[in-house]
Amino acid sequence: MVQGKVRRIVLLCSAGVSTNLLVRRMEAEAARLGYPCSVSFYPVNEVQEAASFADVMLLAPQAASNLPEFQVKYPNVKSAVIPKDLYATIDADKILDLAQKIAGDY
């Protein structure tokens, strides 16, 4: 990982209830690992604002159909869909790992 670089991870979802909990757990896991990042969430319809500062965008499974469009519109922001099983169990450790891999931090 680039030293001193704080990754900006954005989770995109429809409702935000589960995602809010996931954000808090991902922040706690990042702190535990010493991984410098900020994690936030936005509704899918606010993707333009989210993409303006995000390094990585992770879409909730229910927003998966938007991924191809977002990859074309925001080619400088790395993006992926969170696997359903990880999202359903709010597996912050593995989702943070996914974000790190997508960002190219290892």
Domain ranges of the chain: 7-103
For residue 6, how many C-alpha atoms fall within 13 Å in the half-sphere facing its CB? 8
13 is a catalytic site residue: yes
pTM > 0.95: yes or no = no
pLDDT on residue 16 = 63
pLDDT on residue 44 = 93
Let me know: does 34 contact 12? Beta carbons within 8 Å: no
pLDDT on residue 1 = 44
pLDDT on residue 2 = 42
Q: Which of 9, 13, 30, 98 is catalytic?
A: 13
For domain 7-103, the CATH architecture is: 3-Layer(aba) Sandwich (3.40)
Rg (CA), the chain: 12
pLDDT on residue 20 = 84
Rounded to whole angstroms, the Cα distance separating 86 from 70 reads: 21
CA distances for 55 relative to 15, 50, 77, 85, 89, angstroms: 22, 10, 5, 24, 24
